Amino acid sequence: MSWETVIGLEVHVQLATKTKIFSGSSTRFGASPNTQACAIDLAMPGTLPVLNKQAVNYAIMFGLAIDAEIEQKSVFERKNYFYPDLPKGYQTTQLEKPIVGPGRVVIPLADGTTKAIRIHHAHLEEDAGKSIHDGDIPIGVSGVDLNRAGTPLIEIVSEPDMRSSDEAVAFAKKLHSIVTSIGICDGEMSQGSMRFDVNVSVRPSGSSALGIRTETKNLNSFKFMEEAIQLEVDRQIDLIEDGGKVTQETRLYNGDTKISKPMRSKEEANDYRYFPCPDLLPVIVSDQTLDELRSSLPELPDARKSRFTQQYLLSDYDAEILASDTSNAEFFESVAEKTKNPKLAANWVMGDLTARLNMENKNISNSPVSSSQLAGLILRISDNTISNKMAKQVFDAIWLGEGNADEIIEARGLKQLSDSGSLEKIVTEVIEANPAMVTDYVNSDESKRKKKMGGFMGQIMKASRGQANPQQVNQILLEKLNELI
Amino acid sequence: MAIKPAEIKKLASLSRLVVDDKTITDVTDRLSSVLALVDQLQSAQTESIDISRPFHIAQRLREDEITESNKIDELQATAPEIYNGFFAVPKMID
Amino acid sequence: MHNFTLAELINGLRSNKFSSVELTQHFLNRIKELNGDYNAIITTTASQALESAISADQRLANGNAPEMCGIPILHKDIFCTNGVRTSCGSKMLDNFIPPYNATVVENFENDGAVMLGKTNMDEFAMGSSNETSFYGPVNNPWALDCVPGGSSGGSAAAISARLAPGATATDTGGSIRQPAALCGISGLKPTYGRVSRWGMIAFASSLDQAGPMARTAEDCAILLNAMASFDEKDSTSVNEPIPNYRSKLDNPINGLKIGIPREYFSEGLHSGTEQAVRNSLVELQNLGAKLIDIKLPSSHLSVPAYYVIAPAEASANLSRFDGVKYGYRCEDPKDLEDLYRRSRSEGFGEEVQRRIMIGTYCLSAGYYDAYYGKAQQVRKLIQQDFSNAFKSVDLIMGPTCPSPAFKFGAKGNDPVAMYLEDIYTIATNLAGLPGMSIPCGQVDGKPVGLQIIGNYFNEERILNVAHQFQQSTDWHNHMPSELA
């Protein structure tokens, strides 16, 4: 029996506004419990919501970025249920008329083609607070922190268009790239800025009916999402092949234990009793606002990728990587512009810089090597002041804060030796010091000679403390050796 | 329209109220009488009605500026139970 | 002093007949002496009141003080008062001390008014008799074995018994107008959105509105001047210009067209009440007004629609009372569910629990369209009825209540009997229109109220007619015999 996987995603994106959606409390991450929760956030009696303009604008910008219809008269509803992290006993959200209608997101597939994933809609809602169940709290007690309660979210709901965990991850990454590129979300997964709920079902290949789906909630990394999907697909297939039936349920995946289990609380017993929130009026978006937001929308990742391939002649692959993250893209472009050498810029950004950043768990936005410093280094490679190999040393030194490329090259005397006189002298010395090698070279076939030059090169580089300009040395060595044939 | 005790129990559960077996008949009777009242709505012809509230058309939007500061002591002064700044509740499963 | 109107007290302060401190002390003494008879006041704020009075006298001496400066008032215990317990008539909030003021309270404070205390009310504003309060029922000063009306029974009784010259109250289905009628005083529910709901504990968000209670229309105008404001913290607050509500009181009412809905004079109306109301209408004709028959054909649907919409909104508004952040928490909850169920069942009274369940029912899956959806449509029909009527009349009048004050327990076991008390007042809340009740007669020694309904933001006209009526009649000056 061969199986097809059907996946839909619901993605919660925290909007990077300064304040909450319905109150003027700060949304800054990491504050002590309940120090960023005002009377409105605590649902104290008599408090009322007033809508954050920026949250609305950010939601609209997302809609524009995915080519969706913007609902110009959207409404907020109350979704009623009881949970300690939900202070009002209802969540203010959108149901009948969400602010963003159907749209699409294009994802790259492993084989180099692309696929369009349809977005059903995206709506505005408020985030709940957080609870802790162990650690800083006595046994038998849970602690509720309402700092996060009221943070503006957009919930993006996809159609069940994905057919593998790879596609789901590509979709999630593309969304991440879009929302960070247009500046509506900081994209900090570890801080919960983006959370995924995955709906997974399986069906026999070729079937058009949908299988029973389960929902795994609250995944906050691409890796966990991938693992959870794989696990769930396998579990469902095993279950069905053993003669069982998939139960429609909500599950939780623990990324540390790698175990998924159904939620114990009876979610299906909940009837949310949605009704329009009487404390809020319809959100009217004017044509003017739409036009303004449309014209000021920052460059989207796909557009940027196209531009990179055309403007900088980068490969599709390189362009995809550099264009997907705004900070990376900006860094790269800054270096490319300063050096007029996009190829080297791309290599260094994607290669040495990224590797070092990853190793030390840093972001390009707090890179110890700035874009102008990297540009400065690359300029010295392209003007032959130092070799590519030497450049890596210099890069390390810049990283450690020793200064700019020029300063380091000067201080350590790393300038490539390109003065033909000195170079000739060194080459001659090495040749004279190694008569056996010379004989060997002269007696070898032409085809093997190139390789034998390596031995001389090694000694020459050593004698010049690595600073001899390799291309020049090669030239001089070849000439001199050939004179001896 | 009469409402059954089982439905009352469900409503009580959804709204986190307790209706015990002693009072359930009473509650059922009273709720049924209210529902008989509201059932009168069914006779109304409302298909073509289209009128909106004249002064409540568009939601006002607030500038995205921080206006609240940390008032945890004030706001937690009459809280039932606090632990290290958290609102304390019996341990939640899940 | 307590027999002066608020307007007279304002003059008295300015002509140095007495100071705010003297005035405040007088009412505090009166409350101490008499509140036991009525149970109108839950919390008295004596020392705070005297402190405010001292500051007020200072401000008055400096000149240019606002109208309400130094005037003692009461606030219904539904308005959050900073540092002062705000119970909403419920065990659930018996220990709740808000760290913020309702905008209404703030407005009066800024004007230098003196808060004497917080008045008793039906629990969470749900009731028409002030019998559901956790703090016990309020007795009608006109007949101590009768209800004062509700939910603002405490404010109404307090004014009627002259425990204060003015009070704030709220009206969701008639909770200002009905108790005003039963207690023989004047009470106004402004247009929805005229007065801020910030800090006013929510019952039914799309219907609740705060308004003044006092003995005269002029006094209500003075109070409304202080209460009305555009508040950015309330998304339903309307930014309409605020007139001086006293400025048109003396306008003559010749030619004023008053609509008399036939639906408000049909079966169920007590004959004594009807007579008193019709007599007042004749009086208004004598003053030059024209009476015009009108129809409000969807009137009979207002009580059913209200008893879907109000409980539905309330059921959500009251979900925040969960024993977690503030308010009542049950003892030794064994788990989270136990915490919720017991805190709420022990903290809320029967009527509140009943309405929460009705509201939950009307919003449930499978019932939403038939109940909540339908009720909102019916609401539009009612709005349209008024809209049509106001094309041909300036104001609409009729009785405020179907009968005078009834005895405690008279509406006994049938909640619907109680709900029908609001049969004439509810439609105004559903449409969001302003409405007022003023005393217009007596039956068996108990007051009768005349209801005046105006078009949106037309409080001035309502107050004008009321004032003119009060210039040529003296029902508003009558007081309960034992207080005379």
* β-bridge pairing A250-254 and A77-80: unpaired
Chain C CA closest to residue B63: C232
Q: What is the band of C10 on the pLDDT scale with cuts at 50, 70, 90?
A: very high
C-beta atoms of A143 and B14 within 8 A: no
| pTM, two decimal places | 0.91
What CATH number should be reported for the domain holding residue C78?
3.90.1300.10
C-beta atoms of B58 and A284 within 8 A: yes
C442–B contact, CB cutoff 8 A:
no
Instruction: Report, as an integer, the average pLDDT of A173-191.
Output: 94
Which chain B residues are closer than 8 Å to A36 by Cβ? 68, 70
C-beta atoms of B77 and C97 within 8 A: yes
From the CB of residue C108, how many other CB atoms can be counted at a distance below 10 Å?
A: 27
Tell me the pLDDT tens digit for each residue of A320-377: 889 988 889 999 999 999 999 999 999 999 999 999 999 998 888 889 999 999 999 9
Cα C357 from Cα B24, distance rounded (Å): 13
Chains that touch A (3 or more CB pairs under 8 A): B, C
Q: What is the band of B1 on the pLDDT scale with cuts at 50, 70, 90?
A: low
Cα-only R_g, chain A = 30
C-beta atoms of C197 and A51 within 8 A: no
Site of tokens 């058309």: B57
pLDDT of residue B21 exceeding 60, the answer is yes
SS3 B89: strand
A457–C contact, CB cutoff 8 A:
no
Cα C90 from Cα C177, distance rounded (Å): 22
* pLDDT of the residue at C187: 98
**Residue tagged active-site, from C52, C76, C160, C302:** C76
Is residue C98 in some structural domain? yes
Does A161 lie in the same domain as A42?
yes
Does A347 lie in the same domain as A323?
yes
pLDDT of residue A69 exceeding 70, the answer is yes
C-beta atoms of B44 and C301 within 8 A: yes
pLDDT of residue A156 exceeding 90, the answer is yes
* pLDDT of the residue at A268: 53
Does A426 lie in the same domain as A408?
no
Query: To the nearest whole angstrom, how far is the Cα of C159 from the nearest Cα of chain B?
Result: 32
Cα C215 from Cα C6, distance rounded (Å): 8
* pLDDT of the residue at B47: 76
Tell me the pLDDT tens digit for each residue of A403-434: 998 988 888 877 777 777 888 888 888 888 88
Is residue C210 in some structural domain? yes
* Mean pLDDT score across all residues of chain C: 95
A398 exposed, middle or buried (CB, 10 Å; 0-12, 13-18, 19+)?
A: buried
Which chain B residues are closer than 8 Å to A51 by Cβ? 59-62
B41–C contact, CB cutoff 8 A:
yes
Tell me the pLDDT tens digit for each residue of C449-478: 999 999 999 999 999 999 999 999 999 999
Which chain A residues are closer than 8 Å to C342 by Cβ? none
pLDDT of residue A41 exceeding 60, the answer is yes
Residue A336 lies in domain? 299-412
Query: To the nearest whole angstrom, how far is the Cα of A25 from the nearest Cα of chain B?
Result: 5
Cα A290 from Cα A53, distance rounded (Å): 13
Instruction: Report, as an integer, the average pLDDT of A39-46.
Output: 98
Cα C159 from Cα A86, distance rounded (Å): 41
* pLDDT of the residue at A296: 93
C-beta atoms of A144 and B63 within 8 A: no
Which chain A residues are closer than 8 Å to C204 by Cβ? 278
Of the candidates A124, A219, A234, the residue with the CA atom closest to the CA atom of residue A169: A219
Is residue A130 in some structural domain? yes
- Residue from the list B64, B76, B92 with its beta carbon closest to the beta carbon of A17: B64
pLDDT of residue C149 exceeding 90, the answer is yes
Cα-only R_g, chain B = 23
Split into its structural domains, chain A has a count of 3
Is residue A427 in some structural domain? yes
Cα A33 from Cα A125, distance rounded (Å): 22
Q: What is the band of A17 on the pLDDT scale with cuts at 50, 70, 90?
A: very high
Tell me the pLDDT tens digit for each residue of C236-247: 999 999 999 999
Helix (H) or strand (E) holding B86: strand B86-90
A84–C contact, CB cutoff 8 A:
yes
A and C: number of Cβ contacts within 8 A: 97
Which chain B residues are closer than 8 Å to A281 by Cβ? 56-60
Q: Where does a domain end: A378, A412, A446?
A: A412
pLDDT of residue C417 exceeding 90, the answer is no
Q: Sheet containing A141-145: give its strands across.
A: A130-132, A141-145, B86-90, B82-83
Tell me the pLDDT tens digit for each residue of C189-199: 999 999 999 99
pLDDT of residue C313 exceeding 80, the answer is yes
Tell me the pLDDT tens digit for each residue of A438-476: 888 888 888 888 888 888 888 888 888 877 888 888 888
Tell me the pLDDT tens digit for each residue of A266-312: 555 679 999 999 999 999 999 999 999 999 999 999 999 999 999 99
Tell me the pLDDT tens digit for each residue of C18-35: 999 999 999 999 999 999
Query: To the nearest whole angstrom, how far is the Cα of B41 from the nearest Cα of chain A?
Result: 18
B12–C contact, CB cutoff 8 A:
yes
Instruction: Report, as an integer, the average pLDDT of C284-303.
Output: 95
pLDDT of residue C411 exceeding 70, the answer is yes
Chain C CA closest to residue B48: C377
- Residue from the list C99, C325, C364 with its beta carbon closest to the beta carbon of B74: C99
Contact of A7 with A167, CB cutoff 8 Å: yes
* pLDDT of the residue at A465: 80
Tell me the pLDDT tens digit for each residue of A162-176: 999 999 999 999 999
pLDDT of residue B24 exceeding 90, the answer is no
Query: To the nearest whole angstrom, how far is the Cα of C365 from the nearest Cα of chain A?
Result: 6
Cα C274 from Cα A328, distance rounded (Å): 81
Is C155 annotated in the active site? Answer: no
* pLDDT of the residue at B31: 86
A135–C contact, CB cutoff 8 A:
no
Is residue C317 in some structural domain? no
C240–B contact, CB cutoff 8 A:
yes
- Residue from the list A46, A49, A142 with its beta carbon closest to the beta carbon of C199: A46
A269–C contact, CB cutoff 8 A:
no
pLDDT of residue B51 exceeding 80, the answer is no
Does A425 lie in the same domain as A403?
no
* pLDDT of the residue at B92: 84
Does A206 lie in the same domain as A112?
yes
Contact of C166 with C223, CB cutoff 8 Å: yes
Chains that touch B (3 or more CB pairs under 8 A): A, C
B58–C contact, CB cutoff 8 A:
no
Query: To the nearest whole angstrom, how far is the Cα of B39 from the nearest Cα of chain C?
Result: 7
* pLDDT of the residue at C266: 86
Residue C201 lies in domain? 6-256+393-483
Q: Where does a domain end: A391, A412, A433?
A: A412
More confident residue, A295 or C480: A295
Read off the DSSP letter of residue B15: T
Does A320 lie in the same domain as A461?
no
Residues 6+ apart with CB under 8 A from A185: A13, A14, A15, A16, A179, A193, A194
Is residue A294 in some structural domain? no
C-beta atoms of B83 and A137 within 8 A: yes
Residues 6+ apart with CB under 8 A from A342: A312, A313, A314, A336
C422–B contact, CB cutoff 8 A:
no
Helix (H) or strand (E) holding B83: strand B82-83
C-beta atoms of A265 and B94 within 8 A: yes
Cα B11 to chain center, whole Å? 11
* pLDDT of the residue at A269: 63
From the CB of residue A453, how many other CB atoms can be counted at a distance below 10 Å?
A: 17
Which chain C residues are closer than 8 Å to A43 by Cβ? 320, 325
Is C76 annotated in the active site? Answer: yes
Chain B residues with CB within 8 Å of chain A CB: 13-14, 16, 56-68, 70-72, 75-76, 83-94
- Residue from the list A46, A146, A271 with its beta carbon closest to the beta carbon of C200: A46
B22–C contact, CB cutoff 8 A:
no
Residues above pLDDT 70, as percent of chain C: 100
Cα A349 from Cα C461, distance rounded (Å): 75
Q: Where does a domain end: A412, A429, A460?
A: A412
| CA–CA distances in Å: residue B40 to residues C135, C370, C371 | 35, 11, 10
More confident residue, A319 or A268: A319
Is C17 annotated in the active site? Answer: no
Query: To the nearest whole angstrom, how far is the Cα of B33 from the nearest Cα of chain A?
Result: 22
pLDDT of residue A313 exceeding 80, the answer is yes
Is residue C314 in some structural domain? no
SS3 B70: coil
Instruction: Report, as an integer, the average pLDDT of A104-112.
Output: 91
Does A225 lie in the same domain as A116?
yes
Instruction: Report, as an integer, the average pLDDT of C351-370.
Output: 92
Split into its structural domains, chain C has a count of 1
Query: To the nearest whole angstrom, how far is the Cα of A39 from the nearest Cα of chain C?
Result: 9
Instruction: Report, as an integer, the average pLDDT of C62-83.
Output: 96
Does A310 lie in the same domain as A256?
no
Is residue C150 in some structural domain? yes
Does A138 lie in the same domain as A174?
yes
* Mean pLDDT score across all residues of chain A: 92
Is residue C148 in some structural domain? yes
Which chain C residues are closer than 8 Å to A281 by Cβ? 235-236
Contact of C181 with C443, CB cutoff 8 Å: no
Chain B CA closest to residue A261: B94
Is residue C453 in some structural domain? yes
From the CB of residue A136, how many other CB atoms can be counted at a distance below 10 Å?
A: 11
